[in-house]
Amino acid sequence: MKSSIIEVLQQYDNFAELKEFSEYGNGHINDTYLLDYEGIGKIILQKINKSIFKEPKKLMENIALVTSFLRDKIEKNGGDPDRETLNLIKTKDGQSFYEDSKGDIWRAYNFISDTICYEQVTNAKEFYESGFAFGNFQNLLADFPVNKLSEVIKNFHNTEDRFVTFKAQINEDPLGRVKDVKEEIDFFLNREEYTHIFNRALANNEISLKVTHNDTKLNNILFDKDTKKALCVIDLDTIMPGVAAFDFGDSIRFGANKGLEDEPDLSKVGLDIELFEAFTRGFLEACGKSLNKREIEILHMGAIVMTYECGIRFLGDYIAGDKYFKIARENHNLDRARTQIKLISDMEEHIEEMKKIVEKYI
């Protein structure tokens, strides 16, 4: 074990009882480890990716505030706050994070045991559950004091801003990759109109900002292993003021895809309309009452825009030399961008069906 990690582990109780330490999970951003203590149990340890989160201490303030707010709410609602929300584990000095000698920020959470974390949906019931969980998450935080939250990544879901970055990456082309991905680039350039939809709706006050999760991938929910019900929303790094349709849309992008986000065989990729319907029902049963008519009727566009935004982020990162998203193989970000392209094309073909489904809830 590296000495830098030992330094961190010693900040938490029970170092002498530590019997196992391993890398864990499939996140693209942070380094996640599972620690197993003899006779005590497990905890999750994470090193925050500071090249992405420039102000990790502010991020940790957000998480400390949000998790204690959620804990109180869940307790009041008669739920189990040890399993239905993440809980930060304090260091021996009573801090909610530890800054190591290299300036990296580490945090520990209770490990939520007997859960399943899915990379792909196995049935519509599960995806309904995931819709309900993300909708309910927005509901639980509806009266959270927004002004206390720092915007940890500026313009995180500002698609117009993402588009500007994408064009700059194409212009820079540091590795000469642009010539091989012209078709993919054109796909996105030809659909620039998508980048404006939500900024315009916000500017016209048709929709409003709420406290949202902003990274609503299926693998950011833990399901109870026995009941198969969605139990806990995790990965709270990007909680910020945001648009409901983006939480909705990012879930559809990842979970209503018939294939994986990085599936190289594009014949397996496409929108599963039955899953779209199941998620919509769950999400709107949980938070529909707090959305206005326009916020509901624009939800399906959130799915297209989130897929578009992620697509330009993956392709831009491929062109820039894979600097942002963790990759596990050559062309990984390009494969991810191609699945987003296939998915957008499929959503465009099914747009009328998607529209009809969300309109049922107005």
Among the listed ranges 97-105, 192-200, 216-224, 284-292, the one in contact with ligand ADP (CB under 6 A) is 216-224
- Out of 216, 220, 307, 340, name the contact with Mg ion by CB under 5 A: 220
Among 84, 129, 184, 235, binds ligand ADP (CB under 6 A): 235
x/- mask, ligand ADP, residues 141-160, rule CB under 6 A, reads: --------------------
What angle do the packed helices 159-172 and 299-320 form, to 10 degrees? 20
The answer to whether residue 29 forms part of the interface with ligand GN1 (CB under 6 A) is: yes
Closest distance between ligand GN1 and the C-beta of residue 66, in Å?
16
Closest distance of CB 48 from ligand ADP, Å: 9
- In the bound state with ligand GN1, the residue whose beta carbon lies nearer, of 184 and 215, is 215
Q: Quote the CA–CA distance of 35 and 20 in Å, as a whole number.
A: 6
28 near ligand GN1, judged by CB under 6 A? yes
Q: Cα separations (Å) of 210 from 135, 140, 174, 245, 327?
A: 12, 12, 38, 11, 32
Asked if 325 touches ligand ADP (CB under 6 A), the answer is no
State the alpha helices, DSSP H only, in the chain: 3-9, 56-76, 124-140, 159-172, 182-189, 197-203, 244-255, 273-287, 293-297, 299-320, 332-349, 351-359
Q: How far apart are CA 128 and CA 285, in angstroms?
A: 10
Contact yes or no for 353/346 (Cβ under 8 A): no
Asked if 261 is part of the footprint of ligand GN1 (rule: CB under 6 A), the reply reads: yes
Bridge-based pairing state of the strands 230-233 and 210-212: unpaired
Q: Which residues make Cβ contacts (< 8 Å) with residue 320, sequence separation at least 6?
A: 169, 172, 174
Told to check if 112 binds ligand ADP by CB under 6 A, we report yes
Closer residue to ligand ADP in complex, CB, 133/291: 133
Candidate segments 20-28, 97-105, 132-140, 344-352, binder of ligand ADP by CB under 6 A: 20-28
Regarding 124 and contact with ligand ADP (CB under 6 A), the answer is no
What whole-number distance in Å separates Cα of residue 8 and Cα of residue 65? 23
Contacted entry of ligand GN1, Mg ion, ligand ADP, none for residue 178, CB cut-off 5 to 8 Å set by kind:
none
- Is 255 one of the binding residues for Mg ion (CB under 5 A)? no
Q: Which of 8, 11, 27, 240 binds ligand GN1 (CB under 6 A)?
A: 27
Q: Per rule CB under 6 A, is residue 220 in the interface with ligand GN1?
A: yes
Nearer to ligand ADP, 25 or 79 (CB): 25
Only one of the segments 25-33, 88-96, 292-300, 346-354 lies at the binding site for ligand ADP (rule: CB under 6 A); that segment is 25-33
Angstrom CA distances, 331 to 155, 173, 181, 340, stand at 27, 15, 11, 14
Give counts: helices (H), strands (E), the chain.
12, 11
Evaluate the CA torsion angle 247, 250, 254, 258 in order and state its sign. Answer: positive
Report what 238 binds from ligand GN1, Mg ion, ligand ADP, none; CB cut-off 5-8 Å by kind: ligand GN1
Residue nearest to ligand ADP (CB): 27
* Paired tokens of 178: 């642009």
Q: Which long-range contacts (CB under 8 A, 24 or more apart) does 34-41 make?
A: 34/111, 35/9, 35/108, 40/14, 41/111, 41/113
Query: Is residue 210 near ligand GN1 by the rule CB under 6 A?
Result: no
Confirm or reject binding of residue 67 to ligand ADP (CB under 6 A): no
Subset of 17-36 contacting Mg ion (CB under 5 A): 27
Q: How far is CA 53 from the centre of its chain?
A: 14
- Could you list the residues that contact Mg ion (CB under 5 A)? 27, 220, 235
